[in-house]
């Protein structure tokens, strides 16, 4: 009995076997490559559904700068204005479109009946107290040069140089004016209306104030 020889199953005998192996390998890579890319992109981009995801550094900084509400900042500024209010009793040195340059410290203007009006004629006998020191309590007598704004409006009361003023006012920053020739001088600024002082201090501090009622004239103005 003759035995048949076993055929040689080499690659040369079946060339289509090589093509089948290559096709299977390419198909496997084609399936795995999109999944790998999707996983990489998902790890690089934070999930929008994750409420605990940390924002970028610049967003965190901008949020912290806006963390304090404007109402809270306005109340702090209002309290400081009330705490820093002063009694302005002094002589007018300059009348400017924005307000009055006043030399404060004329305490004898506080006597009746001069204290019944905010504006006192320059013919009144008054003198500045030389050794007066300004205190820290609210409403104390102001000392030195100041710039007074938001003064009462009255047809019968028109301030002139060397007239006197007696009025409560609130701190509102600083003011620079030309004192003589080209010489400039910076002094404290006070507003006779509290709301004006609050708005000016809010503006300089970058705090947006809430809606406020229109400012009312000081009580001294309503008596004139």
Structure tokens at 82: 């009330």
pLDDT at position 50 is: 46
Q: Does position 223 have pLDDT exceeding 50, yes or no?
A: no
pLDDT confidence band for 182 (50 / 70 / 90): confident
- Helices and strands, number each (H, E), in the chain: 5, 7
Query: Residue 10, Cβ neighbours under 10 Å: how many?
Result: 8
Most confident by average pLDDT, 47-51, 70-74, 82-86: 82-86
Q: Does position 156 have pLDDT exceeding 90, yes or no?
A: no
Residue pair 154/118 in contact (Cβ under 8 Å)? The answer is no
Q: What is the mean pLDDT of residues 102-117?
A: 94
Mean pLDDT of the chain: 78
From the list 164, 177, 204, the residue with the least C-alpha distance to 97 is 177
Q: Which helix (H) or strand (E) holds 149?
A: strand 144-149
Q: Report domain extents, the chain.
A: 84-223
Sign of CA dihedral 150, 155, 160, 165: negative
What is the per-residue pLDDT across 4-31, written as a single tens digit (0 to 9) for each?
A: 555 555 445 555 556 665 566 666 656 5
Q: Is the peptide bond before 107 cis (omega within 30 degrees of 0)?
A: no
Q: Does position 40 have pLDDT exceeding 70, yes or no?
A: no
- The distance between the two most distant Cα atoms of the chain, rounded to a whole number of Å, is 154
From the list 82, 208, 202, the residue with the least C-alpha distance to 137 is 82
Q: What is the mean pLDDT of residues 141-146?
A: 97
Distances (CA, A) of 191 to 14, 156, 175: 103, 21, 12
């Amino acid at each position: 009995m003759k035995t048949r020889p076993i055929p040689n199953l080499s690659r040369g005998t079946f060339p289509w076997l090589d093509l089948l192996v290559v096709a299977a390998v390419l198909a496997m890579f084609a399936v795995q490559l999109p999944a790998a890319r999707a996983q990489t992109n998902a790890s690089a981009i934070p999930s929008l559904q994750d409420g605990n995801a940390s924002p970028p550094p610049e967003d965190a900084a901008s949020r912290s700068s806006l963390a304090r509400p404007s109402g809270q900042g306005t109340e702090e500024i209002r309290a400081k204005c009330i705490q820093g209010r002063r009694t302005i009793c002094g002589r007018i040195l300059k009348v400017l479109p924005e307000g009055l340059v006043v030399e404060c410290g004329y305490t004898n203007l506080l006597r009746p009946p001069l204290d019944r009006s905010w504006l006192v004629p320059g013919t009144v006998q008054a003198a500045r107290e030389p050794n007066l020191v300004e205190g820290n309590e609210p409403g104390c007598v102001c000392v030195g040069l100041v710039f007074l704004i938001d003064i009462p409006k009255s047809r019968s009361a028109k301030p002139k140089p060397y007239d006197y003023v007696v009025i409560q006012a609130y701190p509102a920053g600083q003011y620079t004016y030309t004192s003589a020739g080209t010489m400039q001088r910076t002094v404290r600024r006070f507003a006779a209306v509290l709301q004006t002082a609050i708005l000016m201090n809010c503006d300089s501090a970058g705090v947006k104030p809430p809606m406020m009622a229109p400012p009312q004239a000081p009580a001294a103005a309503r008596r004139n």
